[in-house]
Structure formats: C-alpha cells, structure tokens
Structure 1
C-alpha cells in the first residue's frame, strides 16, 4: 500500500502515534532497512522536497497599491488631482510629496514582512543520516521522503515528523513546539490512544525539535507542509489582525472625509445661490477642502511613530511595523508564553527535602552534611559538563546540569569529586526503569549513587521515612516541581558489584533526599506583571506545561492563585470554553495550561471576541501563529526563534518581560501625541471652516482667499503638527486604564475640545473681519489682518494641544524644544511674507502696523485662557464624580 501525503490528495493522514510499528511500516510501504534509492527518488519527484510551502510573493506594485488604498490617502490624491487641474500646482505637489513619503515608509515595512515563512523554512533545512538500501549515509533534509529510515542521536535536529522504531535513553527538547520546558522522554513501539495530544505523543519526533540525549531509529511519516511545524507555517499565511491604530485611523479618515465634503458642498451651494462665479467658487471649495482635510496628518503620524520607535529602541523594544508602536498602549490583555518569556527556560533545583530534617533552604544547605551528601551523589551520577566560570556553556541533559549547579551551590566541586572518585560502571537513565545509577570508587570500596523518579527510587530504600518521602514528593509535584529522589549505597572492596550484577545491586539504598526542580522565573517578571496590572492591563499566561506546574508559576508571579482560574487544552478540545459562557470563562481565566499551538490562536481569537485588544508574547515556533493573529505580536530577541521574531510586530532585544511595561508607556505616549496632532489639525481646520461658513451665511465676502487658506494651512500646521510628535510622555500614563478597544480617535473629549477651540477661534476671527469691514476697511485689508490673526491663533493654540487634560503652564517648554522652533518659524514666515517679492503679491498681504499687532496678540492669546478654563471645569467635574463614587 502506498501512502500519499495529505497535501497532495486532501485525505487526512493516518494517526501515526496510534499505529503499531508494523502498521506504520506497512502503510508507508517501507521496512527497517529503509527505502531503495530508486523508490526514494520516485517519491521525491512525486511529492516534492522536504520544504515548507512558500506563500505567494507580493510584487512591489501590489505592496504600493495596498499602502495607498486607504480613505485618507485616496482623498488626498483626489484633492491633489483637482488642485492640479485647477492650476494650483504648488499644493498638488505638496500633497503628493506627503503621500509618497508615507507610502515609501509603509512599503518598506511590508516588504520586510515577506520574510516571515523564510525563517520558518530554514528550520528544517538541515543535514541528517538516512538508511537506504540497508546502508546509512548523510543526506540533506530537503531530500527526505515519507518512508525514509533515519538514525539520530544527541545534538541532532529533527528534520521531519518521525515515528520511532527503536530508541535508547531518548530525550527530546520540544519547548519550541509544545512549550514544554523540560526534556521529554521518548519511547518506541507502543501505540498510543488516538486522542493523545501533540505534547503527549512520546512515540513521535517532530520537525524542528532537538534530540537532547540518547539515540534512535525512526521512519519519516510527514515532510514539509504536512509536518506539525508545516501546519504552523500555513497558519502564518492567514491575514493578521492588524494594529489597532490602522483601524482607528481608517474610521477617522472616513468620518473626516464625510464632514469635509458636506461642509464644502454647503459652502458651494450658498455661494452659487448668491451668484458667485463657478470657477472662483470651485477653486475656493478646493482650498477650503484642503484646509479642512489634514493632509499633513500622515507625515505627522509617521514621525510620531518614528520618534516613539527610537525611544522604544533605547528601552530594548525593536519595532518591525510602525503602526504597531502605539498598540501596546491600547492593549487590554497580554497573553504571554511562560517558557523563556516569564521563566529562564533553564531547569534549576529550587527545593530540597532531607530525611529527618524536612525542607531545607538552599541558602543554608552548604553547611548541612546531608544536603552535601545528596549533592555529591547527584554530581557523581551525572554525564553533563558545567563550568561555574562559564555557566552558559554547560552541555548535557538539563536535569544533569541542574544537579551540577546544585552541587556548586552546596560548595562542592563536581570536577574534583569526579577525579577523586573515578567511575567504575553505570546504568544510564532509561525511561522504563526511570532512574540512573553510577558506581564510583570510594576509599577501598565503592559508592553507588542513584537518582530518579521518587515513586521508583524511594521504594528501593530502607528506613521508616519512605511513606513520608512519597507524600512529600506528591505535594511538591502538586506545587509544580519535577521531583527526583537521590539515594546511595556503600560497598566494601570484596563485594563491589560487576557490570552484570549492578542492576540487582540497586536495592537496599539509603535515601539521601528529594530535589524539586523548576524552571525559575526571570528576576524582573513579577514586578513587570504587577506594573502591567497597575496599568490596567491583564496578564494571562499560556503554556504547554501541566496545570499544576503552571499554577505554581502563576502564584509566584501574582497572575493566579486558584485552580478555577485555569483553562486547559482539554477544556478547549471539549468545547466547554466556547459560546457566550465559554468566552466569558476565557476572559476570566488567568492561566491556559497544556495547550497546543493551534489552541493559542483560538485563545487569542476568543479574547478578541470578548472585546480585548490582545498583545501576545512568545519565543518559540509554537507561538508564531498566535503572535500573528494577535493585535500585537511581541517576540523575544535573544532566546527566541527566528520564526517568532520575523512574524512579530515588536521584538524585545533583552528578552525581558519588564521591557513590555516600557513599551506600554511609550506606546501610550505615541498615541497621545497622535491625538495631539489631530486635535491641532482638526481644531484649526474647524476654526477656518466656522469663519468661512459664518461669512458666507451673513453675506460677507470670504474672510480669506483660496491662496491665503492654503498658505495658512502650510505655514502653521506644516511644522507645528510635526513638532507635537516630539512631545515627551505625560506623567501618570501608566496609571491610566487602557483605552477601550472600540474607542474612536474622535471621542467625546476630543470632540469637545475641537468644538470649543474651533468655534471660539472661528467666531472671533469672523468678528474681527466683520468689524474691520464695518470700520470702512477694504476686503483686502480685512483679509490681511484676519490672516495674521489666524496665524497667531494657531501659534497659541498649539500649546493647548500639548495635553488634553494638563494645564499648558504645567508642561515645561524644555520637554519639546522642536515645538518652540516650529512656532517661531511659522510666525517669522508670516511676518516676512509681505516683504518677499512675488509672495506678497500672490498672498495679497502687506505689513501690519505695530499698534494693530499689539491688539491682535492678546486676542489670539485668549484661546489659551478659554481652553485652560475648559480643562479646569473638566478636572473639577471629574473630581466631584470621583468623590461621589
């Protein structure tokens, strides 16, 4: 029977873990001697190389088109086209430059994102050894086919999904795929239940994982896109949620375009009804539309995000997509991977129990003789290497390394111990017997050191404390520890067992104690979780570990403290976490334990369905789909995989969860600065619209000509809005709750401030214009004064926009020196315009008398007092509301 890969026929593949060795070989039409070279070539030609499926590559044209396909950009392009058609080439060119800059930056980000699956594909392009025609030979992993028989040993990366045929003392590191922090013992032959989860399939090896100890022979059952890692690659090709900022800006752009076009249509209708010439009316309408539509917004937003990007980089957060900068400030939930993110992904001894003494603190253990005896046994029954001077260069089994670290902490020298007590013979760890033993010389005799599962080693010991030790081991396991028992036995010179007698000699042992191992927390993780909570951001832990281990870690971190706060992968499989009650349960849950890669995506989706803006942190291949599906994906830069880094929006260069808190602060500051820019641009646009509309309704000439409107828009907003993007974070940002996920940019607070500022400036400017006409000034003279007043208004109002809540007088100017320069430049340009030949004729402006300027300055400065009064009233109302609550 010939097996056809699932991706070629659409048929579901067999459940390889549930088949016996004979059934697997028969289904794949292979044998223990492997395939023939000819058959391997035929299958390679038929089914393709062992590579992950490549997503379709987007052309540069498609990327550029996607960048400009937004309401605001489309509206700006339309305005540029109309302006050019009417002969206003200067404004058309300005708008096009804005669009080109924004498009170029966005397209660069999109182009880089096409490397997502390239990094994932590289993970399985390794060399391996395959048995073909009965002979073992090296081969590139891309040439593997289903039915190939592989020979692997410690240090090899698994190149495809394999079903074990034979194994000896085999352990695999599957943390990057399943999230399991400890090495997994692998067994051959035995068929497992069909419903066994990925992390529990101990007779399987999966592509991308690593053989940590032992050796094996295994048959290839899936290659390329059919592997477990291949399924993840497929998930990465699904559309991502997109940063919240893009969604908000899209809604804002549509609303703004609708309002602007409605106002323009109203003004045009009134002017045409009053008999104004069509060409003059259309040209004025275009100028009014351009003044209302904040064409500088895309550049200002890009600069605000770029400034935040630099600030975040200084705080160890690298931004891969500009629009993701503010996303951390918007997130309401951080769904974080445990292994390697909250913990160090390094097994360490954290708890000792000694017969007759009970729990012993590691800090006091070096002076405890029994603890030192346990440490000596653990160091002698050991095959790892560990140099305290270079702890990161340790090699060997993770638990063996942890025992050597423990010996060092107990003031022992493992190397000196090994030299003083040469090994005679040993029993390596075996998954069936669940212990390891080593026989070393000791004086004139020998000492036997044994370490292994408590339920196996303790019954081999003599003494009355066995029952107590087993009860303690159960309690330690319930607290999330991996528990190993350590025991020993002495032999005189005349009864030292030989190799054949050694297994039987592992009896009548003396129990030296129990050791609880755990993946330790990152030192800064607990404080970072507390800071997130204070910022109103819930932290939910997602892990492949067992529920007991997960709860123990969650308790230490302050994330959860009760079993009912845990949802397991089994719960998700059973469907008990879905529907309205299920979504509510997921929203309340704080820990998700024993989950598989696909379930992480489901969890993120459910949290989003519950109304959350979700940031997902992770470092492994198993995290990549969820990183992509989340509103914000955050990867670890040092210990993380290439796949996680390439698919994420943000990367932590120091792998420090605390950097997420810094990112939240900078993200909120970036979004606050974007709101400040919008507040300035829309507020001044509203003022210009109100001034023009009042003049048109009252039958007066236009307060400003089309060219003057364009000049006003360019000289004031052109620099001041960009300068606002450099504003430093306001105090107390981290003590504010996150914004609701569906909150529009134009919320009630911003609409109120825009209405107050826009109406006040517009009404006052109209009143000055009308008063000047009433005093007998010509329309040209009145427009000249009104233009300068509007410049001064906007010079003053920009300082109101530095904060939506704080007084402008509480914000030191030193916090934003670019703003001071921008205001000065705008004012100087306006004062100089009447003296520049050509420009003064185009603008139809003249120098303003000093006494009139002295009158205009306090009138313009009054906008500060108006907004200060509004802020004061709002603060007092908020204080009264807080007292009432």
Structure 2
C-alpha cells in the first residue's frame, strides 16, 4: 500500500468485508419486548386471574378497569426503560468523528465509521484517531493515550497510533491496520459487554416485596374463599369477593409512584451535576458502602500547578495561585516581599528554560482561559505569566524541539541566541542529573530536596541549560539550574466531601496511576488515611494475586490508597470489594476504566474528560468531574429510597386496611363492604394522586448521618411492619364499625358503602400526612415543605366529592352526596389515625433511643 490510498471501490468492498468501524453495542430490547417484560410480576399474575374471573362472572366493567390498570402500569414501565435505552444510545453517538484519508489519490474527509484496513490516514494536532494505524511517517508527533492507558502524559509514538486516542502535537501519516472490534479499544470494549448486570438493591427489594405480598394474597383469598363456600354463599359472590380482595391487596399505583420518585431524584441529581443513565441507579448510589475514586480531576482540579522552586544556589521560592489562574505572586523563602525578576536572575533563567522547552499554548482573553497542551507545559506557561516573562520567549528563535517521551524522560529545545545555539532541558530529576556535571555533594543535595518535595505530595522536575546543536538529543555537560515542585491541587470541596462520606459511614479509596508518595500525601490531606497508613502499589497487588485470591482480598481490604495501578487492576479491586460484601461505586474516565465501571454496582463516568466507552459502561455521568457531586448524589439516592418507602407504606397499609375490612365483613356475615371498582377508585384515583405527591418529599436532614443500607435489607423491616399493622387495624376496624352500624340503623347496602368509601378516602388523606416521616412527629415536619402533597390531598378529596354529583360516574361507583355535617363527623373519625400514628412514633423513638438531632427544617436537596 502506498500513500495513494484506496480507491472508492476498494474501500466499499473492504467495508462490506469488515463491517463498519464501530464498537460493539449491548443488545437492546425492542419496545414490544420491553412491554411484554413488564408483565413478569407476581402482582400482575394475580390481577390477570382477577380479570379472567370478572369476565367469567360477566363483571365487564370491573374486568375493563382492571385491564386498563395493567396496561397503564406496563406502559409506564416500558416508556421509562425504553427512554433509558435511547439516552444511552444518544450518549454513545454524542460526538461524531471524522478522519482525513486518501481516496482515489486525493485527500478527503470521511466518517470514521467507514474506515477500513488499508486506508491511508493523515493525522494532525487535535485529531481523534479513528482506527489502529501503522505509522509510516511522522513529525514531532505526540498522542494523548490517557483514554486507553490511563497515563496522563502525552507520548511520542513513532510506530503505531490507536483508535480513541488524541493527537496533541505534530503530524503523521499511516495505514489502518485494525478497525472496530479488532482495535485495542475494541478488545477492551468486548470486556465491558462480558460484565454481568446485577439487579440494583431497589429492584431486589421490590421483587422480594411483591412475591411475599402475592403469596399472602393467595393464602388470604383461599381461606376466605373456603370459609364463604362452607357457609353456603353463592359461587359468583365468592368469586367477586376474591376479585375484590385481590384488587384491595395489590398496590396498583406502586409502579407509577416508584417511577415518579426515581424521575424526581434524577432531576435533582442533574442539578447536582450528576446525569443518570439508568433510572434505578438513582437509588443504587444511595446504597453505596464504598466509593473507589480516581485522583486526577475528581479529587483534584486536573491542572498542574507549580508550588515550590529550588535553585542550585539553594534559594527556595514559594509560588502562590492554583491551576491556570495567573494571579499569584512568587516569594523567596523567608522573605515577605514578592520577588521581581530583575533581582532574581537564577529564577528568571530557570523559568525561561521551562518556557522554551515547551509545546503548550495558553492565552487569557476577556476573563476566559484558552489552554492547549500537556499539563506540565501549561504549568510553566502560567509561571511565565506570573513572572511576566512571556515576552522573553520571542527573543529566542526555536531551532529544534525534542518532545517528551516517557522512555527518555525529558523534553528539550534548541534555540538561537547571541552566543550560539542554546539548549533548554526539563525532565525527570534522575535523567537530567546524568546530563549535568555535578559534585557528589551537589548530587546529594538535589536528591534530598527531591525526596522532601515528593514526601509533601509534589511531582518534581529538574531543569538544565547548556550549549549544543540541533542535530542530536544526546546532551551532556549541562548546567543544572534547579528543581520545580508541582502538584495537581485538591478541589476546594474535596476534603469536606470525603468528611461527608465518613459521616455517612461510606468508605473511600483512592486509585491512581501516580507515585505512591504523592497518592499517600494527598490521601492524608483528604483524611482518607492517617499518617501511619501506606499506599499499595500495582506491583504489590500483582504479587498478592499471584499467591491466591484471598491474599489479594486481604491486601485490598486493609488499604485505602492504591498507586501505580494498571487499568486491569481497577477491575480486580472492584471484584475483590464486591466479594467482601461491599456495595461499590467506581469512578473512571478512560476506555481502560470501562470494565471496572461495568463490574461495579454503580459505575460513575466523568463527563468532561470521559470517553464514549466509559460513559456507555457507567450508570451515572458527572458533568463537572467532581467528587463532591458523587456525595450529593449519594444523599439524593437515600432521599429517593426513603420516599419510596413512604409511598409503599401508604399503599400497603391502606390495602391491608381494605383486606381487614373484608375479613371482618366475612366473619360477621355482612355483605361485601366495597365493590372491586370502588376499590380501584380508592387505590388508583384518590390515593393515586397522593402517593405520587409523596415522592416529592424533601430531605429530612439526617440522611447524611445514616449508615448505608445492606443490599439485602428488606423493605418491610420491623418498623414498617409495625406501622402497617397498626394503621391497617385502625382503619379497617373503624371502617367496619361504620359499615356495620350503617346497616344496623337501616341504611341500604349502597348507602352504607357510600359512607364507608368516603371514610376510606378521608383515612387516605390523613394517612398521606402520617407517611411524610417514619420517625418524626408530623408536628415538627414543616407543613408547607411539600406543597404538591397538600394540593394532592385537596385534589383527591375534591375528585371524590365531585364524583358524587357527576352522572354516569356516580352510578358506576354507586356514589351519592352526603351532608356537610356527616362529612365533618367522618373527618373527625379519620383523625383518630393521626393520634394513633403519633403515639406509635413516640414509643418507637423511646424504645430504640433514636436521636434525630435537631427538628427538621424546610430542607430540599440542591
């Protein structure tokens, strides 16, 4: 193959043979298949049987409305899951890529998806490489391979360039040797799709809950069915009673309420810079017991900053300011007055060398910073602005540039000067020292100073200058100028965010490719570890894994800082933590992080610097790449779960009350107290407005101090079981008393059901208020903190009263108007539920010594 490239016919034939240059995408369920999947539920099976029974009995209206409920719930679930799939596909195609190739002997721009093996590709600075390429010619060519390898320093690659990486400098041409799944990035993507999707904790709990409720329903229906048959009841009445019981017990509004709660959490998380790709991940993040975080850009600002300078004459300087901001002064150690460059010639010369051996570009315009290049080079450009040295660079014409290569460990430039070619070198301390003529005493001083800087979390570079030519990069006999200590500063809110995790009893670990000393120092500043702890290196992890899995697990369990970690070791750490029972959230941005993100319970990709493959593998995407946003998401996840519990409590306790009402009616040989259609009206219309509104409850304020929930912890814990039983007994017993007394005083069955239905609606209104907090008295919950619920209660009551006066609907529901005095008596009767619930909450707090801290305020998540 020559630089003439392929012809259009050849390219089309190869495209047919190899397929599009795309990474494999996970299989997606069609809309129809998703709709069918929604019917895989124990609740649904019970309701389907109820529909069949209604059809057999000729209860067409009941059958119709139960069927509508089933279809609506299935449709809601289908739309939610299908939307999540569409969002994932949109993320994968968010950044269209193009490549410049030779076709038919001419340079053309083509869609990178049409690249084929044999294509001749031309690359230049800023290009995203679309396929694996065998480089045939290059000029000062450098590539950022961090997306593939995790290494943040640009590398010079004279032989190959890989798909998904970014050209940061120079030009190159070459032949495509692999596309799609056959590329290096494709092989990693294949690992991603081998990950096994586990059900999130919420879905596990819901599945357990629905199965237990369904079993209980079947048992209760069987018992009552047998009892009524033994009494000689008509078979059709018995079956109708069974349908009524089934409709009573099943919380038909639960799927919609859960979807709304998760959607609200998703919207609140978006305001906290957390984009949710999978809806159930909203709650999953709240279950996390362990967060394994990247260092660069997540806990730090991802901007290298020069903080200390040490000259060969042993003068030391402190450089103020962080990141790319140019507003920082330079002070000599022990002097309070900022230095001027005219007085500090040694400092000037060191900074000038850093500016000359430099490939980055930095400009400040209208309060905007335009930066392009390696972080180390940018740090020297910022120093040049602080020392007002940038104009000096223009006086030195560049004759040659030797870009940084990890194998060589330095970068250099040869510049013209009045005394002849001038060499500027910066790089690893050990490498630059070999280029300089140094005494043993001076070598020791340099090493001592280097070690001191490293122990304080700095990355250390050495700078030197000399005379030479542009013909070779084999430099020697240079003059050693000094050391520069730079760091990627911690984010201002990182320490507070880690402290919040500690308060929430969530463990935090740092996983980085950085030097162990640097990682350990930053972790100590963040208080992830104490000064007595140590960092584990990738080599130590490999040695432990070579012994056995349990030794590896022991090493991971006993440490919180992992340095010099290889990409594949991130996934091994994730799997180890999961084996130890942790519920793991893992952050990542590169293609190499994708397998770990997929295998973690909650994968969190970076939005600013994350790759498409990383985002595709993640459940959540941080739009600001900030660790503190994860913490906010954890709190919001806990709020969502608490609100779902409140919704379940409201629905299950009212359903249990209806069952208790039926059981009492059967035991005392009374007519059926409510018809199936009336129960559907209660559960879906009057209660449906309220249970959805409960999902809007704000945070109670103590979410951040609560320990993470165990993944297998059931929704029905002891507290909820007690509250459901007590509430159901009160509502069921009082409603039965009203129904029985109404019949006793000579009311018709229809009139008695009318009053009973009105009382149940009022019970639901009061109970919705009781459900706002599991532990706190309603008297300390700010009344207007959830106005949507208050409006929902008014709407529920208004709808029911309106139905009494609406022809057709009132006939179907067998409703009739009641007097205002009767309504007030029923409201007062329903208020008994409030008193009983308040007494139980107080007794629970006393019994468990529950300390809720300060009274709740009107607090909403950001």
TM-score scaled by structure 1? 0.83
Equivalence map 1:596-635=2 (5 Å): 596-635=566-605
Are 1:98 and 2:67 counterparts?
no
Contact kept, 8 Å, 2:767 with 2:833, in 1: the verdict is yes
Name the CA shift for 1:39/1:448 in 2 (closer, same or farther; >3 Å).
Answer: same
CA distance in 1, matches of 2:556, 2:475: 52
Contact kept, 8 Å, 1:293 with 1:685, in 2: the verdict is yes
How many angstroms does 1:375 deviate by?
1.3
SS at match of 2:660: helix
How many angstroms does 1:778 deviate by?
5.6
Are 1:388 and 2:348 counterparts?
no
Aligned to 1:13: none
In the TM superposition, what whole-angstrom CA distance separates every residue of 1:459-514 from its partner, at most 9, and x where no partner exists? 5145653321023224544665442211335xxxxxx76656x87885251x3210
How many angstroms does 1:797 deviate by?
1.4
SS at match of 1:728: coil
Aligned to 1:6: none
How many angstroms does 1:683 deviate by?
0.4
Contact kept, 8 Å, 1:264 with 1:285, in 2: the verdict is yes
Aligned to 1:126: 99
User: Which deviates more from structure 2 when the two are superposed, residues 53-62 or residues 522-531?
Assistant: 53-62
Aligned to 1:492: none
Structure 1, gaps ≥5 residues long:
1-29, 189-203, 490-495
Are 1:288 and 2:265 counterparts?
no
Equivalence map 1:169-208=2 (5 Å): 171-184=142-155, 186=157, 205-208=161-164
User: Which of residues 364, 375, 379 is equivalent to 2:355?
Assistant: 379
Name the CA shift for 1:829/1:36 in 2 (closer, same or farther; >3 Å).
Answer: closer
SS at match of 2:758: helix
Are 1:261 and 2:238 counterparts?
no
Equivalence map 1:399-478=2 (5 Å): 399-409=376-386, 411-414=387-390, 416-423=391-398, 434-438=409-413, 448-459=423-434, 460-462=436-438, 464-477=441-454
Aligned to 2:207: 250
User: Which of residues 454, 470, 482 is equivalent to 1:513?
Assistant: 482
User: Which of residues 15, 22, 30 is equivalent to 1:59?
Assistant: 30
User: Which deviates more from structure 2 when the two are superposed, residues 710-719 or residues 158-167?
Assistant: 158-167
How many angstroms does 1:81 deviate by?
5.0
Are 1:532 and 2:501 counterparts?
yes
Contact kept, 8 Å, 1:350 with 1:518, in 2: the verdict is yes
Are 1:806 and 2:776 counterparts?
yes
Equivalence map 1:707-726=2 (5 Å): 707-726=677-696
Equivalence map 1:851-862=2 (5 Å): 852-862=822-832
CA distance in 2, matches of 1:143, 1:706: 60
How many angstroms does 1:336 deviate by?
2.3
Aligned to 2:536: 566
Name the CA shift for 1:46/1:834 in 2 (closer, same or farther; >3 Å).
Answer: closer
How many angstroms does 1:71 deviate by?
3.6
CA distance in 1, matches of 2:237, 2:754: 19
CA distance in 2, matches of 1:656, 1:585: 28
CA distance in 1, matches of 2:529, 2:157: 32
Name the CA shift for 1:150/1:312 in 2 (closer, same or farther; >3 Å).
Answer: closer
CA distance in 1, matches of 2:77, 2:13: 51
Name the CA shift for 1:595/1:693 in 2 (closer, same or farther; >3 Å).
Answer: same
User: Which of residues 665, 672, 675 is equivalent to 2:642?
Assistant: 672
Name the CA shift for 1:716/1:587 in 2 (closer, same or farther; >3 Å).
Answer: farther
Aligned to 2:334: none
In the TM superposition, what whole-angstrom CA distance separates every residue of 1:119-174 from its partner, at most 9, and x where no partner exists? 79x66x634579x9xx9977966676778887766545444446778877654312
In the TM superposition, what whole-angstrom CA distance separates every residue of 1:770-815 from its partner, at most 9, and x where no partner exists? 4555566665554443333322222211111001111111112211
How many angstroms does 1:761 deviate by?
1.8
How many angstroms does 1:55 deviate by?
4.8
Contact kept, 8 Å, 1:380 with 1:417, in 2: the verdict is no
User: Which deviates more from structure 2 when the two are superposed, residues 465-474 or residues 770-779?
Assistant: 770-779
CA distance in 2, matches of 1:263, 1:569: 61
CA distance in 2, matches of 1:736, 1:714: 33
Aligned to 1:741: 711
CA distance in 2, matches of 1:53, 1:180: 25
Name the CA shift for 1:35/1:819 in 2 (closer, same or farther; >3 Å).
Answer: closer
Aligned to 1:866: 836
Aligned to 1:314: 271
Contact kept, 8 Å, 2:5 with 2:102, in 1: the verdict is no
User: Which deviates more from structure 2 when the two are superposed, residues 36-45 or residues 731-740?
Assistant: 36-45
Name the CA shift for 1:819/1:391 in 2 (closer, same or farther; >3 Å).
Answer: closer
Paired residue total: 823
Aligned to 1:659: 629
Name the CA shift for 1:343/1:218 in 2 (closer, same or farther; >3 Å).
Answer: farther
Structure 2, gaps ≥5 residues long:
321-328, 332-337, 854-862
